[in-house]
């Protein structure tokens, strides 16, 4: 059942592109955001630690610790440095964590909070920590202050509030979002251009329509009897159907192979260069004559390929022979009607003259002849052979030839592999040749016989003509050879030979000067 709802190729591609871009942006943005946050935090921590270390080494700070009121000297210095570096706070305390400097002067003299001074005051280490102080959660750089004797006399704590770090991070994140949106817009435009290009290449067809066309094309190519082969502009095979494979006697995949390697004398490259169609040309193909039509394939006025169709001429010949025989039957029946009309006039005249005995003799003679022919034709069970013989009897009557069916002739139904057209070609040509052979004889006699015994059917056509000269005998089955004058001669026996060989049969010729010729055809009943 055909689906009522189908998503177009354009929509599929655009949705896929947007989904991929969004997924990639989210993944990369997440990774970059994480790395950026880590780098921002690390950078702020390093700056806090560097500032704290610098302050702890300042001689003025160390001297202030020796004064009676260190806060009076340290507080202004701390505020100045804090403003210069942009820190949220610089807190300086003694070895007991009592503040000497703080952004909020009211807190000077009180103990520092956060609980993260031990490593600096007890171990003399420089480090970065994260704790919550009076101003809120912050990232802090801690540095101990040493006196001249390398004794720890205080601590410097430089901090940046986590809130400020987040603000810096989100500012950077906003830039990432802007770039991501720009990438999304560019990707969307690219997807739109891509879908337009694909639709142009597919002539506006959706994938399911292309699939249906492909299936229909394969069905058509498989059903036609003509061989079809197509090449691209580089003369490589793109399409070949089963009929072409049979005619060329090839198997396996030959697509994307040069046409010269598949069909050497196809001459398709000539059409590729000229761009002109060539119709109904005869060429030789593996001892066969085939009729070829070559048609160029154009796109925007440029030749981009060639399609060639070719068919075995023997099939065309068989069809022409069958049509010729039908025409001959028609002419034979017309002449027979004319002959019987003449006899009826004679019979009418005899009756009017009251010559009854002569009229009776005429009727009896015709009846005996007809009865004899009918009895002998009854022994021929095949309708096609009967029809051929009836037509030839009529023709023989017109030509004043004594054409008889042998009294011992017998034939059952011919096997299906021996088609009507093939029978017409074989028997029609042999009988016509016999008629031609006796036309100059005083007594014109032609005899037809058929034998249906064992695994073979045997047809024999005998005449009392002058016989076939010995020097001519080797050439009588050669295409185009004839002892008769006129065009289009020399094809009858050639066609007979081809069909007999195609059916796996054989033939014999018994000829003798002044005594006539007998053609014998042996056809196997088994399908070859």
Question: What confidence score (pLDDT) does residue 2 get?
Answer: 47
Phi and psi dihedrals of 483, rounded to 5?
Answer: -90, 0
- Whether 381 and 284 map to the same domain: the answer is no
Q: Return the pLDDT at 467.
A: 85
User: How far, in Å, are 101, 122, 445, 498 from residue 462 at the CA level?
Assistant: 140, 135, 8, 21
Coil, helix or strand at residue 303: strand
List pLDDT tens digits, range 447-488. 999 998 888 999 999 999 888 877 777 777 776 555 554 444
The CA-CA-CA angle for residues 24, 27, 29, to 5°, reads 100
| Residue 121 clears pLDDT 70, i.e. is over it | yes
Res 521: pLDDT:
92
Sign for the CA dihedral angle at 437, 443, 444, 448 comes to negative
Higher pLDDT, 484 or 76: 76
Identify whether 497 is part of a domain: yes
Could you tell me if 107 and 52 lie in one domain?
Answer: yes
Residue 82 pLDDT: 87
* Percent of the chain at pLDDT exceeding 70: 85
Q: Report the CATH number that the domain containing residue 421 is assigned in CATH.
A: 3.30.565.10
Total domains present in the chain: 3
Sheet with 506-512: list strands edge to edge.
402-405, 445-453, 456-463, 516-524, 506-512
When pLDDT is averaged across residues 49-61 and rounded to a whole number, the result is 90
pLDDT for the residue 50: 92
Q: What one-character DSSP code corresponds to residue 258? A: B
Identify the top-confidence range among 87-96, 376-385, 485-494. 87-96
Confidence (pLDDT) at 463: 92
pLDDT at 143 over 80: yes
The predicted model gives 81-91 an average pLDDT of 87
Distance CA 198, CA 200 (A): 5
Same domain, 69 and 126: yes
pLDDT tens profile 357-403: 777 777 776 666 655 566 567 788 888 888 888 778 878 877 888 88
**362 plus 492 within the same structural domain:** yes
Distance CA 462, CA 446 (A): 6
Task: Say how far apart CA 338 and CA 326 lie, in whole Å.
Answer: 18
Q: Structural domain of residue 485, as residue ranges?
A: 355-524
Q: Confirm if 199 and 10 have CB atoms less than 8 A apart.
A: yes
104 touches 16 (CB < 8 A): no
pLDDT score recorded for residue 135 = 76
- Mean pLDDT calculated for residue range 89-100: 89
% the chain with pLDDT above 90: 6
Quote the pLDDT of residue 377. 75
Instruction: State the pLDDT at residue 489.
Output: 46
In a domain? residue 219: no
Instruction: Answer whether 436's CB lies under 8 Å from 484's CB.
Output: yes
Please say which residue of 279, 312, 345 terminates a domain. Answer: 312
Is there a domain that residue 347 lies in?
A: no
Top pLDDT among 448 and 21 is at 448
CA distance linking residue 245 with residue 284, whole number of Å: 16
Mean pLDDT value of segment 215-227: 72
Same-domain check for residues 299 and 435: no
Is the confidence at residue 350, as pLDDT, over 80? no
Q: Do residue 47 and residue 149 come from a single domain?
A: yes
Domain for residue 196, yes or no? no
Which residues have CB under 8 Å from 206's CB, separation 6+?
6, 8, 9
- Choose the final residue of a domain: 258, 292, 312: 312
325 pLDDT band (50/70/90 cuts)? low
Both structure tokens of 344: 């009826």
Instruction: For residues 15 and 139, state if they share a domain.
Output: yes
Write out the H or E segment, with its range, that includes residue 45. Answer: helix 9-57
CA torsion 156-161-162-168 (nearest 10°) is -110
Composition of the chain by helix, strand, coil, percent to 5: 50, 25, 25
Q: Is residue 469 part of a domain?
A: yes
Q: Which residue has the higher pLDDT, 502 or 394?
A: 502
With beta carbons less than 8 A apart as the criterion, state whether 233 and 269 touch. Answer: no
The string of DSSP letters for 364-418 reads HHHHHHHHHHHHHHHTB--HHHHHHHHHHHHHHHHTT-EEEE-TT--B-PPPTTS
Are 272 and 306 spatial neighbours (Cβ–Cβ below 8 Å)?
A: yes
Residue at 320 is within a domain: no
Position 112 scores a pLDDT of 87
Mean of the pLDDT values across residues 341-350?
74
Least confident of 65-79, 317-331, 477-491: 477-491
512 and 374 within one domain = yes
For residue 316, what pLDDT is reported? 61
CA-closest candidate to residue 143, choices 206, 55, 205, 221:
55
Whole-angstrom CA distances from 131 to 7, 137, 141, 351 are 57, 6, 11, 146
pLDDT band at residue 327 under the 50/70/90 scheme: low
List CB contacts of 447: < 8 A, sequence separation 6 or more.
Answer: 403, 404, 405, 406, 460, 461, 462, 463
Residue 491 lies in a domain: yes
Q: Are 157 and 174 in contact (CB under 8 A)?
A: no
**How high is the pLDDT of residue 314?**
61
Q: Tell me what the mean pLDDT of segment 5-19 comes to.
A: 75
Pairing mode of beta strands 402-405, 302-312: unpaired
Q: What is the three-class DSSP state of 167?
A: helix
Kindly state the tokens that stand for 15. Answer: 């949705």
Clarify whether residues 250 and 104 are in a common domain: no
Question: Contact at 8 Å (CB) between 248 and 308?
Answer: no
14 close to 20: Cβ distance less than 8 angstroms: no
Q: Where residue 139 falls among pLDDT bands split at 50, 70, 90?
A: confident
Order of strands across the sheet that contains 127-133: 99-101, 89-94, 152-161, 136-146, 127-133
**398 and 453 belong to one structural domain:** yes
pLDDT tens digits for 508-521?
Answer: 888 887 788 999 99
**Where is pLDDT greater, at 13 or 140?**
140
The pair of three-digit structure tokens given for residue 26, joined into one six-digit string: 């989210």
Give every CB contact of residue 14 below 8 A, 6+ residues apart in sequence. 188, 191, 192, 195
Q: Distance between CA 235 and CA 113 in Å, rounded?
A: 87
Q: How far is the CA of 82 from the CAs of 112, 133, 157, 160, 245, in angstroms?
A: 17, 17, 11, 10, 90
- Residue 163: the pLDDT is 79
CATH at 242: 3.30.450.20
- The mean pLDDT of 60-83, rounded to a whole number, is 88
Q: With a cut of 80, say whether residue 306 has pLDDT above it.
A: yes
Question: Would 349 be classed as within a structural domain?
Answer: no
Mean pLDDT of 204-231: 74
Read off the pLDDT of each residue in 13-36 and give the average, rounded to a whole number: 81
Mean pLDDT rounded to a whole number for the chain: 80
CA-CA distance, 317 to 502, in Å (whole number)? 14
Residue 165 in this model has a pLDDT that exceeds 50: yes
32 with 141, same domain: the answer is yes
The reply to whether 296 and 360 lie within a common domain is no
- Better-predicted residue by pLDDT, 115 or 286: 115
């Amino acid at each position: 059942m055909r689906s009522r709802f189908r998503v177009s190729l354009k929509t599929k591609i655009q949705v896929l592109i947007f989904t991929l871009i969004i997924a990639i942006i989210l993944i990369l943005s997440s990774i970059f955001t994480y790395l950026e946050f880590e780098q921002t935090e690390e950078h702020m921590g390093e700056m806090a630690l560097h500032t704290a270390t610098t302050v702890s080494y300042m001689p003025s700070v160390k001297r202030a610790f020796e004064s009676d009121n260190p806060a009076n000297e340290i507080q202004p210095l701390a505020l100045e440095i804090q403003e210069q570096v942009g820190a949220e706070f610089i807190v300086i305390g003694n070895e007991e964590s009592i503040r000497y400097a703080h952004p909020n002067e009211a807190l000077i003299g009180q103990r520092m909070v956060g609980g993260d001074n031990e490593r600096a005051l007890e171990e003399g280490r420089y480090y970065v920590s994260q704790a919550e102080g009076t101003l809120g959660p912050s990232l802090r750089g801690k540095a101990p202050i040493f006196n001249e004797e390398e004794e720890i006399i205080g601590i410097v704590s430089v901090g940046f509030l986590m809130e400020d770090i987040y603000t810096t991070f989100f500012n950077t994140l906003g830039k990432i979002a802007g770039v991501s949106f720009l990438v999304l817009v560019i990707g969307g435009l690219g997807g739109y251009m891509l879908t337009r290009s694909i639709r142009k290449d597919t002539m506006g067809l959706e994938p399911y329509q292309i699939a249906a066309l492909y299936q229909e094309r394969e069905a058509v190519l498989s059903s036609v009897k003509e061989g079809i082969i197509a090449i691209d502009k580089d003369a490589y095979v793109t399409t070949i159907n089963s009929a072409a494979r049979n005619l060329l006697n090839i198997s396996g995949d030959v697509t994307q192979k040069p046409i010269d390697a598949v069909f050497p004398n196809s001459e398709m490259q000539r059409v590729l260069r000229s761009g002109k169609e060539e119709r109904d040309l005869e060429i030789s193909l593996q001892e066969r004559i085939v009729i070829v039509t070559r048609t160029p394939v154009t796109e925007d006025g440029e030749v981009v390929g060639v399609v060639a169709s070719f068919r075995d001429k023997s099939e065309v010949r068989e069809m022409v022979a069958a049509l010729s025989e039908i025409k001959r039957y028609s002419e034979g029946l017309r002449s027979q009607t004319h002959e019987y009309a003449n006899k009826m006039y004679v019979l009418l005249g005899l009756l009017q003259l009251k010559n009854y005995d002569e009229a009776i003799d005429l009727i009896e003679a015709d009846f005996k002849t007809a009865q004899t022919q009918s009895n002998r034709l009854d022994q021929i069970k095949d309708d096609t052979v009967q029809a051929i013989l009836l037509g030839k009897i009529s023709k023989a009557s017109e030509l004043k030839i004594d054409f008889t069916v042998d009294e011992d002739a017998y034939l059952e139904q011919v096997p299906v592999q021996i088609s009507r057209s093939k029978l017409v070609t074989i028997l029609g040509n042999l009988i016509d040749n016999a008629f031609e052979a006796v036309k100059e004889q005083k007594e014109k006699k032609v005899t037809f016989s058929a034998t249906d015994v064992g695994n073979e059917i045997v047809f024999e056509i005998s005449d009392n003509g002058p016989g076939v000269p010995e020097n001519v005998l080797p050439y009588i089955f050669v295409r185009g050879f004839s002892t008769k004058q006129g065009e289009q001669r020399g094809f009858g026996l050639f066609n007979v030979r081809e069909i007999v060989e195609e059916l796996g049969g054989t033939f014999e010729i018994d000829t003798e000067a002044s005594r006539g010729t007998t053609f014998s055809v042996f056809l196997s009943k088994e399908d070859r």
